[in-house]
Amino acid sequence: MNKAKASSEKSSRTISLLSQLEKINLDPVLGESDSARHVTSKILHLVQSQEKTRKEMTSKGSTGIEIILSTLENTRDPQTIVNILNILIEIVSIGGGRRASVLVTKGGTQILLQLLLSASKDSPPNEELMVLLHTLLAKIGPKDRKIGVKARINGVLNISLNLVKHNLQNHRLVLPCLQVLRVYSTNSVNAVSLGKNGVVELMFKIIGPFSKRNTSLMKVALDTLAALLKSKTNARRAVDRGYVQALLTIYVDWHRHDSRHRYMLIRKGVLQCIKSITNIKLGRKAFIDANGMKILYNTSQECLAVRTLDPLVNTSSLIMRKCFPKNRLPLPTIKSTFHFQLPVIPASGPVAQLYNLPPDVDDVVDESDDNDDAETESEIETEIDDDKDQHFKNDDIETDINKLKPRQELGRSIEELKMYEQFFPELSENFQEWDLVSKEPKPFVPDANLSGPIVVPTASEEHSAVANPSTKGVALKECSPLLTEECNRRPVFLELPKKDSAKGGSLHQQNDQRNMLPSSQCLSQEIVKGLDRISLQNSAKNDQYSGTGCVIEKENKAGITTLASSKPCEHVSPCGGSLFEGSSVQLGKLCCTGVDSEEEEDSRSSSSGEHAALQVSDVSPVHDCDLYLEMVKNTKSIPEYSEVAYPDYFGHIPPPFKEPILERRYGVQRTKICQDIERLIHQNDIIDKVVYDLDNSSFSVPEEADVLKFNSKFESGNLRKVIQIRKNEYDLILNSDINSNHYHQWFYFEVSGMKTGIGYRFNIINCEKSNSQFNYGMQPLMYSVQEALRCRPCWTRVGTDICYYKNHFSRSSIAAGGQKGKSYYTITFTVTFQHKEDVCYFAYHYPYTYSTLKMHLRKLESMHNPQQIYFRHDVLCKTLAGNSCPLVTITAMPESNYYEHIYQFRNRPYIFLSARVHPGETNASWVMKGTLEYLMSNSPNAQSLRESYIFKIIPMLNPDGVINGNHRCSLSGEDLNRQWQNPNPDLHPTIYHAKGLLQYLAAIKRLPLVYCDYHGHSRKKNVFMYGCSIKETMWHTSVNAASCDLMEDPAYRALPKILSHTAPAFCMGSCSFVVEKSKESTARVVVWREIGVQRSYTMESTLCGCDQGKYKGLQIGTRELEEMGAKFCVGLLRLKRMSSPLEYNLPSNLLDIENELIESSCKVTSPTTYVLDEDEPRFLEEVDYSAESNDEDVELADNVGDYEATNQDDGLSDPDSTRIHLS
């Protein structure tokens, strides 16, 4: 009680004193200096003794600060001024930035600067007053974004500088003056002005070699110097005066003497000065000439053992990376190795520029870059906290409601659109020729000629392993124990290819028969060497299989291959056939892969489709090796590939074990960058030998035993050049998209000739995106042929020490959309192989080739029940290379050929799906595979879905890009998902005719209920959707008034909401329904705006994994992707069941979006160049760099982020790497 009473008395006393001071200010008679001095001294005593008084004076609604500042502005009494300055210092010293901000908003900065100007006129100046003024300005300056401008306008810039010049030995005065100079220098104009008056030279009089005296002054002087050197003019002045060498000498001296690491902040300050000065080309050259690379490298290596010195190591690495001389890619041209002559050359755009380049132009690097100081210079960035908190604005969001409103525009005449009538026979079919008497499906008997394929399971269930599922390499469940035992007891033999040097690798029949290997023996080195690449030249067609006898025979043009077994084996796969001639070899359990038992099929069929994982037991997603080869023969590639990759031939079975997202090892990226820097410092250790080169037609594969062999001359392959750097390290260069000079991200290549127990490092050095999920736990994929021959044909996530960072290879402006000074990025990973002399394949994501799609569609067509399923496989059009673009129609057959049933059949709403417009997004094809197999299954829910809708599906919109290993473009060199507004029938035939199908449906008043384009996303986790909404777009702009009364049907949110409840990989929180200007020519926006489909979506699937739900912490696999495709179908079924006859009356709780949007914020940004063009809004996930540094300094945190290629401070990172968050 007494304490509360005393506190109340003190509070009232403060108010009383402030009232007295206010009266003194208002009444000139009372304005005696003694009175003001007396009152301010009492207020100072209260402020110094009680925190509550300080809070009260800066609380909301309080006028205490105004009164104090008014007194300061009007009084001329020195002691009153000193009292007030002490009061203000006490207030802002404890309380953080908020109290300083209050002082700024009340006009405190202007009053203090005016007081500083008047005090400087005294001769000599009042030292006490100057110390207090500078101390206070240093505290509030960082909270005033305009303090630099205010100081320059008030003419006080040189006051602090002159005080330092004339009082170098007065450390008490110099220290706060330097702090104020540092604040002034955040303004580039001020920094230049101060530099002209000798401030840089002055700083070098203060800083110097190691000394335990005046370390605080040294630290502040270094911070001030680092801020000043961010000015190009000051940096050049420092270079001209030889200060780069001086800074390196000072750093080495402090490094040697600071053995107990007590002065780490001073050492870091020196590095910050070097970092600022090396932002210009002259500074980087001076740094190299002063042997700076070796100095910082050696000191960094000595600091590695001490974890607390990580900030020094990180900043040193950043400086070395920046100063590493820019190299050109070792290529003759950045254009693709392969050329395709377009039928029509675009009038403008990057493709037109490519064709108009003179033949003698060096497009790999710009000659002008060497003289361009702007190459890697960053803009002067303020370090003011308010700048970081300023409101985010995205100019790319469409704000014109008239442009946002969907307007159905056919764009083509009805007569022209009639050409698409042939693709809709279901609208006129009367089924009078069909025997339709029952709705019940007839028993399905597979074609006898299709017996014996390798069964590749889908994501329908978790396939348990025979042994511990956590152990890689265990046998899969599909390998029947009986068959496994039999195959292990009696080996199965298959003829393998033998190279014939005289015939250029064609298949050659050996006359001698090699000895058979024991079944328990592993494949020897000789066996795998005998595995030649599968060639298309002499592989013959499969004529006939006998699936019931104990010997499976296959006749073909090349001869007869016999597959022997000791007993009948119903599910033996006749893979290989005529492709394998020569030595006999045991293939283990590869040919003994079985299918699920009937009991398992029955149990799955009886379960609910909405809760079961996948119901595709009746349509086994089989992989037929020989059918695949038949499909490949008709696939037309620009390089005219004659080889088939083993993974595409053997097929893929999802592994039975979980693959968690890789945990980032401490310091991995720093280590990799140090190894790159060693290339410059220890050049004699670099081998620099080309071991694979597509540009050199006469290049031969090295024969050395210690050198890896590479290949990518197969469908969807992408690898252009390989250079051996060290004994076990290789630089890999990817090929550009055809008719393009960029888009390097997708890779798919073969490696052989490896040894076990050795870590091989692979560096893909010409990637372009500014960030990647490789930084956040994603691993590349590897496929081992030896594992496949052991009945484990699996793509598995592999690799350690994985990271993605900006390298020292320079992009020309031609390759960077007109921007100079851009760099490439490196994906680096290390792999230790399990088998000696294996043949392994690496890929960016699970490959899914065009030939695989054709094989898959052929299988679905041959295996479906025509009594139950209406299935059509048409050719929509031919691509530029002459490949067919498939169009699939799926629905249920009518119950009978009565009029009522035919009417119901014809009037089912359409669902229109497409995928794989971007070749590198292979996950979209795996999702589509899951969708197709679910739709073709015999489960009751699939049948119900077919009875509800007619599905029109284009499973691959860009066959040419997929075939030729492109990442994003078609053969036209353009992103097809940017051509939907005005597709050219000659350059973009698949888009032109896909849009034509939709326009035809709109013309006959049969708009699809849903349109969805399947994509993959390289920078976000989970699966999510982008849709289109006028209201949500307007909510995220400043034009809120116009959208308040806007009426919009919220049904577009229903399907994503349903999927968020049914699909474990789907994340509603990542969905966005904002329409952007840069996306107006994408399928999603055009189908919504021009065709009039309200539920028009892009469904993005992660390339990495999930961070929520059932699969949290796991990398995504084909099982999960196919499951997502099936769950999408389940979502459509639920959407149908939830809809009323009016279709749009959905439960309100599903569509309650306003509260969600009010509570969240959607920040969507767009890429700045077409080079880094993303299909949808980007999302850069935060990396937790706390493991890389223990320094909590804000500036260092920026440096570390920059070091990891996420910050722009030194100009190393792209401006479009700003982090954004999608609600």
Q: Which residues are designated catalytic? A: 1100
The pair phi, psi for residue 270, each rounded to 5°, is: -65, -45
The residues that bridge with 660 in the sheet, in sequence order, are 1114
CA–CA dist 401, 1069 (Å, integer): 25
Query: Per DSSP, what are the bridge partners of residue 1017?
Result: 1102
* Torsion sign over Cα 295, 297, 301, 306: positive
Q: Which of 278, 301, 303 is nearest to 290 (CA)?
A: 278
- The token pair at 321 is 């990376």
> What is the rounded distance in angstroms from the CA atom of residue 1016 to the CA atom of residue 920?
8
Task: Tell how strand 643-644 and strand 534-535 pair up.
Answer: antiparallel
CB-CB neighbours of 714 under 10 Å: 28
Reported residue count of the chain is 1223
At position 1084, the amino acid (one-letter code) is R
| Cβ atoms of residues 1026 and 1069 within 8 Å | no
- Work out the angle between the directed axes of helices 51-58 and 33-49 (0-180°, nearest 10): 110
CB atoms within 10 A of CB 388: 9
Contact 813, 730 (CB under 8 A): no
Q: How far is CA 393 from CA 1038, 1071, 1222, in A?
A: 9, 19, 14
Q: What angle do CA 807, 812, 815 make, to 5 degrees?
A: 95
What CA–CA distance (Å, rounded) separates 1027 from 336?
34
Bridging pattern class, strands 910-915 and 950-954: parallel
* Number of neighbouring beta carbons within 10 Å of residue 173: 21
* Residues 1207, 1209, 1215, 1221, CA torsion sign: positive
CA–CA distance, 733 with 744 (Å, rounded to integer):
9
Using the CB atoms, write b or e for 319-336: b if 16+ within 10 Å.
bbbbbbebbebbbeebbb
Cα torsion at 611, 613, 618, 623 (round to 10°)?
170
φ, ψ of residue 283 to 5 degrees: the values are -65, -40
CA dihedral 933, 938, 944, 946 (to 10 degrees): 50
Tokens of 115: 């007081």
Phi, psi dihedral angles at 1138 (to 5 degrees): -80, -20
Nearest to 1071, CA basis, from 1011, 1127, 1024, 1020 = 1024
Burial class of residue 76 in the structure, from the number of CB atoms within 10 Å of its CB (0-12 exposed, 13-18 middle, 19+ buried):
exposed
| Gap between the Cα atoms of 772 and 1019, Å rounded | 6
DSSP 1081-1148: TSHHHHIIIII--SEEEEEEEESSBBSSGGGBTBB--HHHHHHHHHHHHHHHHHHHHH--TTS----G
Question: CB neighbours of 83 closer than 8 A, spacing ≥ 6?
Answer: 37, 40, 41, 43, 44
Identity (one letter) of the amino acid at 902?
A: I
Helix-then-strand count for the chain, H and E: 44, 26
